[in-house]
Amino acid sequence: MTKAREPHGICALDVMFAAAKLAGRAAFLPYFPIGYPTYDESLRAIEAMAAAGVDGFEIGIPFSDPIADGPTIQAATQVALEQGATVQKCLECVRQLRARGVRQPMLMMGYANPLVAYGTDRFVTDAREAGADGLIVPDLPPEEAHFFADSCAREGMALIFMLAPTSNDQRIDLASANASGFIYVVSLTGITGARAELPDNLTSFIGRLRARTDKPLVLGFGISTPDHARQVRRMVDGFIVGSALVRAGGEGVEAVRELAGSLVAAIRG
Amino acid sequence: MSELYIRRDLTDLPDARGYFGEFGGRFVPETIMPALDELDSAYAEAIADPAFHEELSHLQRTYTGRPTPVTHARRLTEALGGAQIYLKREDLAHTGAHKINNALGQGLLAKRMGKRRIIAETGAGQHGVGTATAMALLGLECHVYMGTVDIARQQPNVFRMKLLGAEVLPVESGSRTLKDAINEAMRDWVTNVETTFYLLGSALGPHPYPMMVRDFQSVIGMEAREQIQAQAGQLPDACIACVGGGSNAIGMFHAFRDDEGTELIGVEAGGRGIDSGEHAARFADLNISRPGILHGTRSYVMQNDDGQIMETHSISAGLDYPSVGPEHAHLRQLERAWYTLATDEEALEAFQVLSKLEGIIPALESAHAVAEAIKRAPTMPKDSLLLVNLSGRGDKDLDTVISVLDI
């Protein structure tokens, strides 16, 4: 059994945001799926990013039918499934990363069905024990949170909800009232995937959210380059890069290390 | 003012959260949650407006050709020597299947909501054709997602959709069948939700779709219940319908929900047999099917131990789907409806028998329901009655059947 880190869960995220805020920048949380391009390489990619100084992780649990994902993550998670990725192996991976000294907060990101199949309560307990700090389920709106809410509260794990440009005031209030850890802000009306430009109405969208919630805001979807990172580093409390890093992962661990390093440099510059 | 086209009781499920007992709900990305709320309100408003019922009812009479008849299958009944078999003839609805009922209903709703871009998914192509037809009639832009495996086995319907002015978008991901077409349609909706209406074709998906699709299909059972009493002087001992997502079945079952003497029988695709593992019988093979979440709803889902969705097999594209509408899961749990299966082989046999004895070529989907009637009728007395929902006609399946049967 791994020794428990202190702090863990929601507290670990609070500490992460406080440290980034002190440095006057947003926290950077890369997304990477377990099992892509192989189990071993995904572990090494995450370790390389940890060493490059990222602030936290979204650890992707592959699913056969990822309806919120674009072609890059669809293809990568398909490869991961062919490599034999399972929920069990994803948890094992977190355990190994902790054993190898990765200290940053880690959020498990996976669609509802594999987690339900594993057992929601058992999943939250085992994820906590493995060393994860929270949970992002892209097809679980606050209305259906009851599937995970009690277990997460008991284990002190963050249960992350999303808001999108289409979310109205009522839904912003709903997510805010239920949020623990942070709110995942979907930057655009669409699915995941690298984009050349950030959406031009981003400032007003973030402003609209800030006016109704004081929860930390973490921006994701479409953020791909150091230039994007510079644009958002003072706008939000954190940001996520997924598809661009996954694409780099296809080229090898070195490419991931390089892109993650340039993103870290961009927010610290 | 005529009777309302869609009739609902206050006791009818789903509840306000979209649940039928423990099944249903809304498991979708946040981006489309507001659109589901908007759809829910627009639909509630529409069915509270007699003009909406009147408009839909008018189109169904003058365009679809409703009511569709109920036919006494005399020679089939005689050959089996048991229960009287009656067929509800959805194959005679315009476009050749029940799918048009829902396509017109949702199409009118889309128009009321001011949405001009319509997307849909299709498996067998019947919902795609129904939607393309309704959109041609209503003057709306239509895009249909279809897996490339289904495109290959349902060529005539692909051509029909194109003729009707729809764009057919091939889906190459996953198993390249209905499941993947729904994934792709949902991704499109997530991206274009502000301008787009997703015209979902079966009684599945996030709330309010299972309720709305059932309501638009409930005309099948409402008509059939009156017709069978007028023609046979009694209610059926059992209603039989095939179940893929389950829209024709729920449309038939709904009107009979309070008739305790009428059994409700859903027939799933047994494919190459349960033991082969190649089937789409969600309720029959509880080793690989259990409650789970797919395409926004909680229902029975065929999945491996790790919760990954399994690929299914059926000779009929319309039944080739790893989950089932949540209301069916609920009816099964209540033991109000019973679910059985017919294999590819049994469906093919029924396909030929009905063609030869009644001069009706059924869709391969509907042939599954006919197969169950063929099994069941000989065990029942001659004064008993089976009502089979013949949900579509088989012209679209001729290529498949010719290649299998070597006629």
What distance in Å separates residue B25's CA from the closest CA in chain A? 8
- Coil/strand/helix, residue B182: helix
> Residue A67: its chain B contacts at CB < 8 A?
28-29, 183, 186-187, 190, 295
Residue with tokens 């920048």: A25
Which residues partner with B24 through β-bridges?
Answer: B19, B298
Catalytic residue among A47, A58, A126, A155: A58
Would A75 be classed as within a structural domain? yes
**CATH code of the domain in which A243 resides:** 3.20.20.70
pLDDT of residue A3: 52
Q: Is A145 part of the contact surface with chain B (CB cutoff 8 Å)?
A: no
DSSP string, B100-140: HHHHHHHHHHHHHTT--EEEEEESSSHHHHHHHHHHHHHT-
Whether residues A141 and B33 touch (CB distance < 8 A) is answered with yes
SS3 annotation, chain A: CCCCCCCCHHHHHHHHHHHHHHCCCCEEEEEEECCCCCHHHHHHHHHHHHHCCCCCEEEEECCCCCCCCCHHHHHHHHHHHHCCCCHHHHHHHHHHHHHCCCCCCEEEEECHHHHHHHCHHHHHHHHHHHCCCEEECCCCCHHHHHHCHHHHHHHCCEEEEEECCCCCHHHHHHHHHHCCCCEEEECCCCCCCCCCCCCCCHHHHHHHHHCCCCCCEEEECCCCCHHHHHHHCCCCCEEEECHHHHHHHHHCHHHHHHHHHHHHHHHHC
CB-CB contact of B70 with B224 (8 Å): yes
> What's the CA gap between B224 and B238, in Å, rounded?
13
Contact B306 A87 (CB under 8 A): yes
- DSSP assignment of B228-266 equals HHHHHSS--SEEEEE-SS-HHHHHHHGGGTT-TT-EEEE
Query: Closest partner residue to A171 among B29, B33, B192, by Cβ?
Result: B33
In whole angstroms, give the CA distance from residue B204 to residue B191: 21
Locate the chain B residue with the closest alpha carbon to A66: B183
From first CA to last CA, the distance across chain B in angstroms is 52
Q: Is residue A45 part of a domain?
A: yes
Residue B355 Cα distances to A162, B166, B267, B361, B367, angstroms: 54, 31, 20, 5, 10
What residue of B is the nearest CA neighbor of A187?
A: B31
pLDDT for the residue A169:
97
Q: Encode pLDDT of B124-154 as tens digits.
A: 899 999 999 999 999 999 999 999 999 988 8
Judge whether A151 lies within some domain.
Answer: yes
Do A167 and B33 make contact, defined as CB atoms within 8 angstroms? yes
Give per-residue burial for A232-268: e unless 16+ CB within 10 Å, then b.
Answer: bbebbbbbbbbbbbbbbbeeebebbbebbbebbebbe
Task: Reply yes or no on whether the pLDDT at B2 is more than 60.
Answer: no
Say whether A114 and B295 touch across the interface (CB within 8 A): no
Q: Which domain holds residue A225?
A: 9-268
Range among B10-14, B53-57, B171-175 with highest mean pLDDT value: B53-57
CA-to-CA separations, B179 to B159, B309, B319, in angstroms, rounded: 21, 9, 11
What integer pLDDT is reported at residue A2 of this predicted model?
47
Q: State whether residue A186 sits within 8 Å of chain B by CB.
A: yes
Contact A189 B293 (CB under 8 A): no
Q: Is A75 exposed, middle or buried (0-12, 13-18, 19+ CB in 10 A)?
A: middle
Q: What is the pLDDT of residues A185-215, one digit of tens each?
A: 999 999 999 999 999 999 999 999 999 999 9
Average pLDDT over residues B209-217: 97
pLDDT band at B174 (very low <50, low <70, confident <90, very high): confident
Identify which of A66, A112, A190 has the shortest CB distance to residue B293. Answer: A112
pLDDT at position A4 = 59
User: Is A160 an 8 Å CB contact of chain B?
Assistant: no
Q: Strand B263-271 and strand B337-343: pairing?
A: parallel
Task: Find how far residue A166's CA is from the centre of its chain.
Answer: 21
Q: Averaged over B20-37, what is the pLDDT?
A: 97
Taking contacts as CB-CB distances below 8 angstroms, the residues of chain A near B292 are: 113, 116-117
The pLDDT value recorded for residue B1 is 37
- Beta strands B297-302 and B289-294 are antiparallel
Reported pTM: 0.96
- Asked if B29 and A74 come within 8 Å (Cβ–Cβ), the reply is no
Chain A residue at shortest CA distance from B194? A166
- Mean pLDDT, chain B, whole residue set: 95
A81 touches chain B (CB under 8 A): yes
Closest Cα in chain A to B176: A65
Is A102 inside a domain boundary? yes
Q: Which residues of B are catalytic?
A: 99, 121, 391
Rounded to an integer, the average pLDDT of B229-247 is 98
Check: CB of residue A234 under 8 Å from CB of residue A224: no
The complex scores an ipTM of: 0.95
Mutant choice from B15, B32, B33 vs A, greatest count of A C-beta within 10 A: B33
Q: What is the interface size between A and B, counted as CB pairs within 8 Å?
A: 116
- Residue A180: CA atoms inside 13 Å, Cβ hemisphere, count? 22
CA distance B299 to chain A (A): 11
What is chain A's pLDDT, residue by residue, as a tens digit (269 residues)? 445 577 899 999 999 999 999 999 999 999 999 999 999 999 999 999 999 999 999 999 999 999 999 999 999 999 999 999 999 999 999 999 999 999 999 999 999 999 999 999 999 999 999 999 999 999 999 999 998 999 999 999 999 999 999 999 999 999 999 999 999 999 999 999 999 999 999 999 999 999 999 999 999 999 999 999 999 999 999 999 999 999 999 999 999 999 999 999 999 97
Domains in chain A: how many in total?
Answer: 1
Identity of residue B152: A
Query: Which pLDDT belongs to residue B285?
Result: 87
pLDDT-based confidence at residue B3 (cuts at 50, 70, 90): low
User: pLDDT class for B5, splitting at 50, 70, 90?
Assistant: confident
Residue of A109, A113, A120, A123 for testing the chain B interface, max B β-carbons within 10 Å: A113
Closest CA to B48 of B101, B109, B99, B118: B109
Q: Which residues of B touch A195 (CB under 8 A)?
A: none
Judge whether A111 and A137 are in contact, CB under 8 Å.
yes
Active-site residue identified among A69, A126, A133, A237:
A69
A140 touches chain B (CB under 8 A): yes
Contacts of A166 in chain B (CB under 8 A): 30-35, 193-194
Q: Is residue A183 part of a domain?
A: yes
Told to judge if A65 belongs to the known catalytic residues of this protein, a careful annotator would answer: no
Interface of B with A (CB under 8 A): 17, 25-35, 173-174, 179-180, 183, 186-187, 190-194, 290-296, 301, 303, 305-309
Tokens of B300: 């029975």
- pLDDT, tens only, B286-327: 889 999 999 999 999 999 999 999 999 999 989 999 999 999
pLDDT tens digits for B332-390?
999 999 999 999 999 999 999 999 999 999 999 999 999 999 999 999 999 999 999 99
Q: Which of A122, A139, A169, A172 to mutate to test the interface with B (most CBs of B within 10 A)?
A: A139
* Domain assignment of residue A3, yes or no: no
Give the distance between the most distant pair of CA atoms in chain B: 57
Q: Which of A141, A161, A190 lies closest to B191 in CB terms? A: A190
**Is residue A2 domain-resident?**
no
pLDDT at B407: 65
Q: Which residues neighbour A59 within 8 Å (Cβ) at sequence distance 6 or greater? A: A32, A33, A34, A46, A90, A93, A94, A106, A107, A108, A109, A132
Rounded to the nearest angstrom, the minimum Cα separation between A173 and chain B is 13
Q: DSSP character for B213?
A: H
The answer to the question of residue A4 being in a domain is no
The whole-number pLDDT of residue A256 equals: 98
